[in-house]
Amino acid sequence: DNINIFQIVQKIYSLKNFLSTSEGKLILESYKRAYNILSIEEEKDNISYIGNPDSEIFTDNEEKTLFSKINEISPVLESKLAVKDYGEAILSLTDMCIPVKNFFDKIVVNSENKEIRKNRLFLLSQIRYLVEKIADFSLIEI
């Protein structure tokens, strides 16, 4: 693959502009929170929580809404990235702002029920996966 400096610069500017917005800051904070929880739990459990959650196990509307929104955003993000429209790809993440905020405000990820906990960690992995299609947000300072 050839490296296209113009596309890299375009992506950097799109990301910089996005992160200067309140939505961008919320997505970055939410990503960092999901990333940190996953890192701790993956190390503790000695496994990677990579995979799809089971929507039948969700117990709260916040989980269902977030999962639905992730599934709605994912193909849009993919199609924008396929045509190198980084600005629109990044903006597609804004639709996740309210559902991800509500999830973190109302849901305890580490449920006493092991299946529910595992499923919630898989849901967090979906946030991580989706955001990392744009860039490795773990390297961005808040």
Q: Which amino acid is at 39?
A: S
Q: What is the pLDDT of residues 107-117, one digit of tens each?
A: 999 999 999 99
Q: What is the pLDDT of residue 1?
A: 59
Q: What is the pLDDT of residue 140?
A: 73
Phi-psi map region of 51: left, alpha, beta (phi>0 left; psi -120 to 50 alpha): left
Q: What is the pLDDT of residue 4?
A: 81
Distance CA 58, CA 129 (A): 20
Q: Check if the beta carbon of residue 23 is closer than 8 Å to that of residue 94.
A: yes
Distance CA 79, CA 39 (A): 29
User: Which three-class secondary structure state does DSSP give residue 22?
Assistant: helix
Q: Check if the beta carbon of residue 122 is closer than 8 Å to that of residue 53.
A: yes
Q: What is the pLDDT of residue 142?
A: 62
Instruction: Measure CA of the first residue to CA of the last residue in the chain; give whole Å.
Output: 32
Could you say which residues of the chain have pLDDT below 70?
Answer: 1-2, 139, 142
